[in-house]
Structure 1
Amino acid sequence: MTASASAPAFAAATFLPDDLLERFRERAARVDRDNVFPDEDLAELKDAGYLAILVPQALGGAGLGLAEASVLQQRLAGAAPATALAINMHLVWTGVAKVLADRGIETLRFVQEGAAAGEVFAFGISEAGNDLVLFGSDTDAAPQPDGSYAFTGTKIFTSLAPVWTQLGLHGLDTTSPDGPQMVYAFVPRSDAVVTRDDWDTVGMRGTQSRTTELHGVVAPADRVVRRVAPGPNPDPIVFGIFSVFELLLASVYTGIARRAIEVAVATAKKRTSKKTGATYSQDPDIRWRIAEMALAYDALPPQLASLSRDVDALADHGAQWFALLSGIKHRAVTTAKRVVDEAVLVAGGSSYFSGSELGRLYRDVLAGLFHPSDPESAHSTVAAAWLGPVDS
């Protein structure tokens, strides 16, 4: 299908109907309490074709664009934030495949075909202490005679840890004649990959984003998709990962913000003041607080829609691209946290219980602060875009 004004509504009804979302919402509390992966959610998303929403129709997918995927992820996050964040990491790789294919680079076609066939792709980029993120790696990428690469290192925050079938990752090749080179590749599950059972966190527990140890795991030559120089780089795979990751991540936290407003509104309409006998929805202070939440939230969906459409349409923002993408992620997560804080104040002490939905959103929304780009990186990127680099 092609993008149109009615496309988001069509996609929502097709892939995330209300009854499906209610099942996700009902499970979310148990998934959080038991610190388990939402296997039932994944099974239903697979059945709905959700894992292939960004795959072209000709390859068995839905052919949606990033703008439509963003709306869907906002909707999914409003029901089950951890499920949405986990699936986000799979959608990042299918989104990168789309970004590259739209620009005439077909090296990730196997990702599109795999997603349509039921493969689950995980995102193995984050490393402890590596604030270079895409621009460097502590993982060793050792070239093999047949063109394959053996990866040795440790990745953190590997969402979908119990269920992924393919891991997209990067490492640093320091031995090739043209080295050092950042190597992007995909590896299957094998005995050379060890997943630690160490995901015991404050929130987003259902993502099961466990630590992954790589012990010489081999990416076949046809799964080595890109070699680029380390450091800031305009290579299409760097842009693809950065753009899709930031936009879909921002979408998840925007969805959390909207759900927090919905819960706050419903609570305000139900709670009755002993002092006045009226519902809290009639209290001017509560009304001001909810209006403040809505005013903050309302700015996010249009920005997401605009930037997502620009990526789909191959718009050229030049050197401003990374500042724009860092900016929307930063605004989304900080706004979502502020909105949830306000919602908790509206709802009162009941939200302090771990089993309450707002209590869970309060914990889940904190994870947004730790995803790239963090506040320091976002501000540095935006400052460089407007002021130029710092004098050496």
Structure 2
Amino acid sequence: MSAFDPAEILPDALLERFRERAAVHDRENTFPDDDLAELADAGYLAILVPTALGGLGLGLAEASVLQQRLATAAPSTALAINMHLVWTGVAKVLADRGIDTLRFVQAGAVAGEVFAFGISEAGNDLVLFGSDTDAVPLPDGGYVFTGTKIFTSLAPVWTQLGLHGLDTTSPDGPKMVYAFVPRSDAITTKDDWDTLGMRGTQSRTTVIEGAIAQPERVVRRVDPGPNPDPIVFGIFSVFELLLASVYTGIARRVLDLAVETAKKRASKKTGKTYAQDPDIRSRIAGMALAYDALPPQIAVLCRALDDVVPPDGRWFSYMSGVKHRAVTMAKSVVDDAVLVAGGSSYFSRSELSRLYRDVLAGLFHPSDPESAHATIASAWLGPVED
């Protein structure tokens, strides 16, 4: 592929099929199997894998644009595949920095493996810096994992689960262990995903009871707590940037729907379309002002990651900040769009109604608003004194 054209990978006709299915999956609370199959056929699972390994060889900047485009059609599909792309993105970040421990992730993505993100745990606000999952070392260098993960997107279809756990038994002190385990009888996926929005992600609870990671699939052991280790840096960076991309894509679709509606709706009072109403024009202008800031911000940070620019002391605040701004912007844009559209948007059959519900999920992903503010406050003011 010469010049990057997102429409070559995600053509309009494909997106329209996704958009039609999105309403069905939302209504029926089902996983978008057909979307995943078509994405796999398009090579989407390996967009971040180098061409030398059989992938499309794109960077995070291009993947971000694709995820924004995909989210305009099917937010749940985009958010679900995001979790697979996080691991292939981390593999790229590490490989770009001379660390090839996730080469098997890249090869697996090319072969059709689907990687799930098993990090979130109920009540664990340490996220990457701690875990309630037990990681017990085996004599051969492998690990046995036992614990419960929540919000495991791609639950019905994943083949490999990337997860972390805490090893409290090793002589070199407690260690956070990052590894991958295959789907097996030691892992139970609950059928408990019945949510307000993002229903198609099927991000179910995953109960792990003695799942074994082989030695070659144990990719990193790091100290608990805030850590500059490449695996922590990579996960945090790729996760936040791709999340920001999905919610920015939702905002773009919402803005387009608002413009389309304003041009169609006419006022009984004036006989003119709402596009000529000064209040509506002002509202849509405000939506556009909020949206327009995000794609360039995401692009700059993605390119810094792709270009292996050494992070400065505020890198984690940049990541937290752009994710926070993207989801709050998207929520604000949807709030205004339903006012532009009027009462029809209140019906569940309305696409805006679904997007209104979908966008709320962004507030719960790490970094949540409190964590983002704490990270940024520390970047500017220094840590809180004891």
TM-score by length of 1: 0.98
Q: Which position in structure 1 is the counterpart of 2:304?
A: 310
Q: Which position in structure 2 is the counterpart of 1:93?
A: 87
Q: Which position in structure 2 is the counterpart of 1:222?
A: 216
Aligned-partner Cα distance in 2 for 1:355–1:148: 50
Q: Report SS of the residue matched to 1:286.
A: helix
Q: Does 1:238 align with 2:216?
A: no
Aligned-partner Cα distance in 2 for 1:386–1:322: 12
Return the offset for 1:276: 1.1
Q: Does 1:389 align with 2:360?
A: no
Return the offset for 1:319: 1.2
Q: Does 1:249 align with 2:238?
A: no
Q: Report SS of the residue matched to 1:324.
A: helix
Q: Report SS of the residue matched to 2:315.
A: helix
Q: Does 1:193 align with 2:226?
A: no
> What's the CA shift string for 1:252-301, capped at 9, x where partnerless?
00000010000011111111111111111111100100000000000000
RMSD between aligned alpha carbons? 0.8
Amino acid at match of 1:344: V
Aligned-partner Cα distance in 1 for 2:212–2:16: 41
Return the offset for 1:354: 1.1
Q: Which position in structure 2 is the counterpart of 1:24?
A: 18
Return the offset for 1:103: 0.2
> What's the CA shift string for 1:339-377, capped at 9, x where partnerless?
010001000111111111000000000000000000111
Q: Which position in structure 1 is the counterpart of 2:99?
A: 105
Amino acid at match of 1:287: R
Q: Which position in structure 2 is the counterpart of 1:67?
A: 61
> What's the CA shift string for 1:297-351, capped at 9, x where partnerless?
0000000000000001111232110000000000000000000100010001111
More displaced stretch, 107-116 vs 263-272:
263-272
Q: Which position in structure 2 is the counterpart of 1:293?
A: 287
Aligned-partner Cα distance in 2 for 1:228–1:60: 31
Aligned-partner Cα distance in 2 for 1:178–1:198: 39
Aligned-partner Cα distance in 2 for 1:15–1:357: 24
Q: Does 1:213 align with 2:207?
A: yes
Count matched residues. Answer: 386
Return the offset for 1:13: 2.1
Aligned-partner Cα distance in 1 for 2:166–2:310: 29
Aligned-partner Cα distance in 1 for 2:69–2:178: 31
Q: Which position in structure 2 is the counterpart of 1:132?
A: 126
Q: Report SS of the residue matched to 1:303.
A: helix
Write out aligned runs for 1:159-178 (5 A): 159-178=153-172
Q: Report SS of the residue matched to 2:131.
A: coil
1:114 is aligned, of 86, 94, 108, to 108
TM-score by length of 2: 0.99
Q: Which position in structure 2 is the counterpart of 1:331?
A: 325
Amino acid at match of 2:146: T
Q: Report SS of the residue matched to 2:226.
A: coil
Aligned-partner Cα distance in 2 for 1:317–1:226: 20
Amino acid at match of 1:284: P
Aligned-partner Cα distance in 1 for 2:123–2:143: 24
Q: Report SS of the residue matched to 2:109.
A: helix
Aligned-partner Cα distance in 1 for 2:298–2:206: 31
Aligned-partner Cα distance in 2 for 1:274–1:178: 75
Aligned-partner Cα distance in 2 for 1:355–1:166: 35
Q: Which position in structure 2 is the counterpart of 1:153?
A: 147
Return the offset for 1:387: 1.1
Q: Report SS of the residue matched to 2:268.
A: coil
1:272 is aligned, of 260, 266, 290, to 266
Q: Report SS of the residue matched to 2:176.
A: strand
Q: Which runs of 5+ in 1 are unaligned?
A: none
1:182 is aligned, of 148, 171, 176, to 176
Q: Which position in structure 2 is the counterpart of 1:362?
A: 356
Q: Report SS of the residue matched to 2:313.
A: helix
Aligned residues: percent identity? Answer: 80
Amino acid at match of 1:279: T
Over 6 Å off, 4+ runs: none
